[in-house]
Amino acid sequence: MATGCVAPEQAPEAGDETEELGSSADELASGNALSFNALSFNALSFNALSFNALSHNALSREAASALKDPGERGDLFRTLVKYTVSCALRESQSFRFSWTDLSGATHNEVYPGHLGLAHRWDRRPLDDEGKQMVSACLAAHTNRYGVSVRVSMRSRQNPLRCEVGADELDEYPHVEGAFWGNLFSETPYLRACYDATNVDVSRSAKRDCAAGHPGADGDIESCGMIEIVGSCKEYCGKLDRKEQFYKSCDDPDSGRTRYVITTALR
């Protein structure tokens, strides 16, 4: 297995929409059961996390308030921050804060980093690459049903870029699609495309945020705020023959982007 290309996951506990994020030192492990209700939460939409380096003291007043909210608003935002930290920071980094629930109990949270897509965020604001890679990562982790599915995450960008071994390509042959976007822009957006040959595989695996969910009326429903633009062949061209990822994709509004994460299934 090529270290850094596969994101294995742990099964969620009954009743939980999201599971604990993995922290193996040998592989990039993270959950992909992020609820699109949390993803759509407007805390990122108003750039609450982009003003400064990622630290509790650097958060805007509105974001700090959401982070400590004991209600559903706080639950959604904390889930979103947890996944954001996992995408952005390295395993040696973490985000710490405390909040008090409605019963008066204090929760001392430690959210570990994992993938390291924007690991300098703890010292300086996100640059454009960091904003787009973290956004793509969050989109790739979103699951319409809140279930955990084992996936292979690939990109031409470091640190996800690596030489994919034959064993991984054999184990994860079904490229479901690609994700990109920018949650930190003045008008936040996320986009996805699908591999037309693997749509049925994605849907049967409960991974239809790239392929879209067939509604009762036959129309294809998007996955929360993730807009499904169409076939990856049309928007991203051919897969890299050797490493099986899309090098770049055409966005309907922002033009060609290389900050793309490709996902594949067993």
Burial (CB < 10 A; 0-12, 13-18, 19+), residue 75, is: middle
Q: Are 260 and 155 in contact (CB under 8 A)?
A: yes
Residue 237 lies in a domain: yes
Residue 1 falls within a domain, yes or no?
no
Domain membership flag for residue 75: yes
| Domain count within the chain | 1
Is residue 84 pLDDT above 60, yes or no?
Answer: yes
For tokens 């429903």, the residue is 221
What residues form DSSP beta bridges with 214?
220
Q: What is the mean pLDDT of residues 27-36?
A: 50
Q: Which residue in this structure is represented by tokens 């920018």?
A: 182
Residue 101 belongs to some domain of the structure = yes
Kindly state the percentage of the chain with pLDDT values over 90: 34
How many other C-beta atoms lie within 10 A of the C-beta of residue 18? 20
The answer as to whether 53 is a domain residue is: yes
pLDDT > 90? residue 57: no
Domain that holds residue 135: 6-265
The residue assigned the tokens 């050797």 is 242
Closest by alpha carbon to 150, among 263, 54, 55, 240?
263
Q: For residue 220, is pLDDT > 50?
A: yes
DSSP SS3 for 174:
strand
Please tell me the predicted confidence (pLDDT) of residue 24. Answer: 27
Residue found by looking up tokens 């409960």 in the block: 206
Mean per-residue pLDDT of the chain: 78
Say if 21 falls within a structural domain.
Answer: yes
Task: Give SS3 for 12.
Answer: coil
**CA distances, 77 to each of 42, 63, 116, 182, 241 (Å):** 9, 8, 21, 17, 39
Q: How far is the C-alpha of 119 from the C-alpha of 94, rounded, in Å?
A: 10
Query: Which one-letter DSSP state was computed for residue 253?
Result: T
- Range with lowest mean pLDDT among 81-95, 125-139, 143-157: 143-157
Report whether 67 contacts 118 (CB < 8 A): no
Mean pLDDT of 43-47: 40
Instruction: Give the pLDDT band (50/70/90) at residue 33.
Output: low
Residue 22 has pLDDT above 70, yes or no: no
Q: How far apart, in whole angstroms, are the C-alpha atoms of residue 235 and residue 246? A: 10
Res 30 pLDDT > 70: no
Residue 13 CA to residue 21 CA, distance in Å, equals 12
| E strand residue ranges, the chain | 6-7, 94-100, 106-112, 151-154, 174-182, 189-194, 213-214, 220-221, 226-231, 249-251, 255-257, 261-265
pLDDT tens for 162-180 read 645 678 778 889 999 999 9
Q: Indicate whether 158 belongs to any domain.
A: yes
Residue whose pair of structure tokens reads 């991984």 in the numeric block: 168
Q: Which pair of structure tokens corresponds to residue 147?
A: 């279930």
